[in-house]
Amino acid sequence: MMADEILTVSGLSVGYGDIGVLQDVGIRAWSGRVTAIFGANGAGKTTLMSAIAGLIPARSGSVVLAGRDLVAASANRRFVAGISLVQEGKRVFHQRTVEENLRLGGYRMGRRERAAGLDGAYDRFPVLADRRAARAGSLSGGQQQMLAIAQALVSQPKVLLLDEPSAGLAPIIVAELLGTISTLSSEGMAVVLVEQLVGQAMTVADHVIALQQGRVVIDSPAAGVDGDQLHAAYLGEQDHTVV
């Protein structure tokens, strides 16, 4: 059965001042599938995720979610529409409790829907339930990453964007994280995953995008990706540095 294409990014160009970062980039995400994005440092991966979430304005192109072009919409409107971004670096509110962090993830929801979102987060990450009254800054790095993902899931997004979720985590925690991503996908969520650990990410990827110097050089089902081609794209020469 063919999966539903829920997110379509087309012709996306983004820059900072006079510096072009992304040039005519297109990616797709499907309900129940993981789209993995690879590229060397500076290839434009984080800029792409930020542009999809509305944190950085696009110079041109479209960001279509469930048939609605959100390219001119604010980050808040995109969040409400169903795009949740987990930024690199375990970005949680360290001085707030676990529960307060999760409630912030559902701040635009009604009381009943938010309560259901919190219950779902605690069911998915039992360690957070045990620490719900603890300050987020007291959690381990792995637990903080779980909290960041759980916070993004409270709103029950259509598309979950994960930017380098494994950064700084121990291998056993990375394995747990990939298991969570696989479960989310199997439950029907569209996941867009930026990851430096190519081998590990390929175990959960359904579709692969590779960026080089702000352009897409591979756009293929994961099963059809040539390892040498992906390696070449990942280590490609760069004429300038992009974010």
**What count of other Cβ atoms lies within 10 Å of the Cβ of residue 171?**
10
Burial 195-230 (b: 16+ CB within 10 A, else e): bebbebbbebbbbbbbbbbbebbbeeebeebeeeeb
In terms of DSSP H, where are the helices of 44-86? Answer: 45-53, 75-81
What are the mean pLDDT values of the chain's consecutive 10-residue runs (243 residues total)?
Answer: 85 90 97 96 94 96 97 95 90 93 86 90 94 95 94 95 93 94 96 94 96 94 86 57 37
Can you name the CATH fold of 1-81+204-237?
Rossmann fold (3.40.50)
pLDDT on residue 241: 35
φ, ψ dihedrals at 87, nearest 5°: -75, 160
* In contact, 156 and 117? CB cutoff 8 Å: yes
pLDDT on residue 16: 87
pLDDT on residue 2: 56
pLDDT on residue 238: 40
pLDDT on residue 231: 78
pLDDT on residue 239: 40
- Whose CA is closest to 160, among 168, 151, 170, 152? 152
pLDDT on residue 242: 38
DSSP conformational letter for 108 = T
Q: In angstroms, what CA-CA distances link 118 with 104, 135, 189? A: 10, 17, 17
Per-domain residue ranges of the chain: 1-81+204-237
**C-alpha angle 8/156/169, rounded to 5°?**
85
* In contact, 192 and 99? CB cutoff 8 Å: no
Q: In angstroms, what CA-CA distances link 58 with 13, 61, 62, 164, 191? A: 6, 7, 8, 22, 21
pTM of this prediction?
0.91
pLDDT on residue 47: 96
pLDDT on residue 177: 94
pLDDT on residue 237: 46
pLDDT on residue 186: 96
